[in-house]
């Protein structure tokens, strides 16, 4: 009988049944004097004991502010030590951390805060061209006259505290560095008493992920979900307390906070953050200076490092392993990473936010061909099956939809039972919407997407979300958004727009309308104004035909045959 496209991961190591708060406590007790956190751009170098002290001091301060288990705390910031403190302090206090993309603008920030009713918001002062404080002041005019910690906002009735990572405290705000000092002995005692009451299956993290049918949804993840996923994906890289991981990927995403941070603290490894955001030269310099043994990134990051003019000036020979994920990796890039960056044990991962995120991962000794043509094999304690349109499991070698089940599947989308039930079936299978093929050895190749998600340099962009925003433009009658090939990012955003009769607009006008309202990577790079869309006889828009037309236009423009 032909083998079916089903696999179940096993391990001689059991699942961790503990909270993230307990995990950081255990790390402090076990590896107290080992280096835990290095943040180069802030001059920070802490041991596990020092990190735990910072975490508990801040957690007690949050309790003093009146935050209670289950309350949501938004974190809107690039990579820094404060982000790490907030991640563990919220877990220790039983609070649900809400990850907010640093690229979000007013429209997206408002939606995120309102969707989950954040009671507190921690934000950086500025990042690149973004003035976070100014944006929050624009969105919450009541902040200027509010007592710090006692905000009353018409737009955000649940929000009480705005905490800034800054040298100064803007009107109505609290400074991050002052929070720990607010705590009393009673607050610290309450934090200790709280620990045995918190449970591994409690929700602890909300990450925003979009769909093809609407606005972002809040994927709600538990301690058990993400702690174990971080543990097992670093297990596959053979992490120990001697490893030092360079993390240039963003913390707001599972790649940074789960695969990076939680992977390290479950093994006593050191986390090295080279900067607020990815910079190829800075990442290479930090990797060399800190003698990192592992490095994370999406393929475009590795390409940028390999092509950096100063690449040869950095001794990165201590590198051994790491992860390349987010989009497919070209074979020549993989070979260069292995040979020129000394990452002979680099691995490839596949997953999604809703599954904590990793379901599949290559092994450190897999042949290079397997690491570039597949996303590896099943993770421990996770099941995967590939099904046809009728829901039947397909024989191996046949393409179908990739489904996964196990400890890693989210609780659901925050306050959205309908969309949760559309994604997770009654048997507990998460329908990913990705098309895949499983070979005889259980390796999986992701071959396409049922949904039209665009992956731009590792950032997931959902066309419907961009379309919904563009529909608010007064001159747009209809719009279709889809991905087109891009040499640098793999894919980029293209919009075909039908204007209302009697109106005029240019591509620059549309991009200006988007600026400051949606993240820069969602703003369409290519814009075409059309009278009609290609349609089926039943009236369904054919986005694949639009992609084909754009591809032909690109070929003509470059003179390609």
> Could you check whether 6-14+210-449 and 454-558 share the same CATH topology?
no
Six-digit token string for 254: 């599972």
Rounded to 5 degrees, what are φ and ψ at 299? -50, -40
Q: What is the pTM of this model?
A: 0.87
Q: Are residues 289 and 245 in contact, defined by beta-carbon separation less than 8 angstroms?
A: no
Residue 433, strand partner residues: none
pLDDT in the model for residue 327: 67
CA-to-CA distance for 352 and 358, rounded, in angstroms? Answer: 7
Residue 6, strand partner residues: 385
Rounded to 5 degrees, what are φ and ψ at 486? -145, 130
pLDDT in the model for residue 73: 98
Rounded to the nearest 5 degrees, what angle is found at the Cα of 402, between the Cα atoms of 397 and 405? Answer: 125
pLDDT in the model for residue 561: 37
The topology under which CATH files domain 21-33+47-199 is Rossmann fold (3.40.50)
pLDDT in the model for residue 455: 87
DSSP state of 262: I
* Cα of 267 vs its chain's centroid, Å: 21
CA-to-CA distance for 436 and 327, rounded, in angstroms? Answer: 14
pLDDT in the model for residue 447: 78
For 448-468, letters b (16+ CB in 10 Å) and e give: ebebbbbbbbbbbbbbbbbbb
Give residues with Cβ within 8 angstroms of 404, minimum separation 6: 355, 359, 382, 383, 384, 429, 430, 432
Q: Are residues 114 and 155 in contact, defined by beta-carbon separation less than 8 angstroms?
A: yes
Give residues with Cβ within 8 angstroms of 367, minimum separation 6: none
Rounded to the nearest 5 degrees, what angle is found at the Cα of 182, between the Cα atoms of 74 and 101? Answer: 15
Mapping DSSP onto H, E and C, the string for 415-474 reads CCHHHHHHHECCCCCEEEEEEEEECCCCCEEEEEECCCCEEECCEEECHHHHHHHHCCCC
| Residue from 373, 371, 334, 378 nearest 355 by CA | 378
Q: Are residues 396 and 439 in contact, defined by beta-carbon separation less than 8 angstroms?
A: yes
pLDDT in the model for residue 372: 86
Residue 444, strand partner residues: 438
Give the neighbor-by-neighbor strand order of the sheet with 400-406. Answer: 6-8, 382-387, 400-406, 430-438, 444-449
Q: Which CATH class is domain 6-14+210-449?
A: alpha beta
Q: Are residues 84 and 251 in contact, defined by beta-carbon separation less than 8 angstroms?
A: yes
Mean pLDDT split into 10-residue runs, the chain, 561 residues: 93 98 98 98 98 98 98 98 98 98 92 97 94 97 98 98 97 98 98 98 92 72 98 98 97 96 98 97 98 94 93 98 83 91 96 96 94 94 96 96 98 96 97 93 86 82 85 91 91 95 95 96 96 71 86 79 37
CA-to-CA distance for 283 and 245, rounded, in angstroms? Answer: 11
Q: Are residues 54 and 82 in contact, defined by beta-carbon separation less than 8 angstroms?
A: no
Q: Which CATH code for domain 454-558?
A: 3.30.300.30
DSSP state of 330: -
pLDDT in the model for residue 538: 46
pLDDT in the model for residue 471: 87
Domain ranges of the chain: 6-14+210-449, 21-33+47-199, 454-558
pLDDT in the model for residue 212: 37
Pairing relationship of beta strands 358-361 and 203-211 according to DSSP bridges = unpaired
Determine the longest span between alpha carbons in the chain, in angstroms: 74
CB-CB neighbours of 294 under 10 Å: 30
């Amino acid at each position: 009988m032909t083998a079916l496209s089903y696999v179940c991961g096993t391990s001689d190591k059991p699942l961790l049944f503990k909270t993230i708060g307990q995990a950081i406590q255990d790390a402090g007790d076990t590896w107290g004097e080992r280096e835990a956190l290095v943040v180069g751009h802030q001059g920070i170098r802490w041991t596990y004991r020092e990190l735990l002290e910072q975490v508990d001091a801040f957690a007690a301060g949050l309790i003093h502010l009146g935050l209670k288990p289950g309350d949501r705390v938004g974190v809107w910031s690039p990579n820094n030590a404060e982000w790490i403190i907030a991640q563990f302090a919220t877990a220790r206090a039983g609070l649900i951390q809400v990850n907010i993309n640093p690229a979000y603008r007013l429209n997206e920030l408002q939606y995120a805060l309102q969707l989950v009713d954040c009671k507190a918001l921690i934000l950086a002062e500025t990042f690149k061209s973004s003035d976070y404080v100014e944006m929050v002041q624009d969105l919450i005019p009541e902040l200027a006259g509010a007592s710090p910690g006692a905000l009353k906002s018409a737009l955000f009735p649940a929000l009480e505290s705005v905490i800034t990572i800054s040298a100064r405290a803007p009107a109505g705000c609290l400074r991050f560095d002052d929070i720990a000092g607010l705590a009393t002995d009673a607050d610290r005692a309450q934090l200790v008493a709280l620990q045995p009451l918190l449970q591994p299956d409690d929700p602890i993290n909300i990450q925003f992920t979009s769909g093809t049918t609407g606005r972002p949804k809040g994927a709600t993840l538990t301690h058990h979900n993400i702690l174990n996923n971080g543990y097992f994906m670093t297990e596959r890289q053979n992490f120990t307390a001697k490893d030092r991981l360079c993390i240039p990927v963003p913390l707001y995403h599972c790649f940074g906070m789960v695969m990076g941070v939680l992977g390290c603290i479950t093994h006593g490894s050191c986390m090295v953050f080279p900067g607020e955001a990815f910079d190829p030269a800075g990442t290479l310099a930090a990797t060399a200076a800190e003698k990192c043994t592992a490095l994370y990134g999406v393929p475009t990051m590795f390409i940028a490092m390999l092509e950096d003019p100063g690449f040869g000036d950095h001794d990165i020979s201590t590198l051994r392993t790491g992860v390349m994920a987010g989009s497919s990796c070209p074979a020549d890039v993989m070979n260069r990473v292995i040979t020129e960056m000394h990452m002979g044990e680099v691995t490839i991962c596949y997953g999604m936010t809703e599954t904590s995120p990793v379901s599949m991962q290559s092994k450190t000794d897999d042949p290079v061909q397997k690491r570039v043509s597949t996303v590896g094999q099943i993770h421990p304690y996770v099941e995967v099956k590939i099904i046809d349109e009728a829901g039947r499991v397909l024989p191996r070698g046949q393409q179908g939809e990739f489904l996964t089940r196990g400890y890693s599947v989210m609780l659901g989308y925050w306050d959205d039972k309908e969309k949760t039930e559309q994604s997770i079936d009654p048997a507990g299978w998460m329908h990913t919407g990705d098309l895949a093929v499983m070979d005889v050895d259980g390796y999986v190749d992701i071959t396409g997407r049922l949904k039209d998600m665009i992956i731009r340099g590792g950032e997931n962009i959902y066309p419907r979300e961009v379309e919904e925003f563009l529909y608010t433009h007064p001159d747009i009658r209809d719009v279709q958004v889809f991905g087109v090939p891009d040499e640098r990012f793999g894919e980029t955003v293209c919009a075909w727009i039908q204007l209302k009769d009697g109106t005029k607009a240019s591509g620059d006008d549309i991009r200006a309308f988007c600026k400051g309202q949606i993240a820069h990577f969602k703003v369409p790079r290519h814009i075409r104004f059309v009278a009609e869309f290609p349609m089926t006889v039943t009236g369904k828009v054919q986005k694949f035909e639009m992609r084909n037309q754009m591809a032909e236009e690109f070929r003509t423009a470059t003179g390609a045959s």
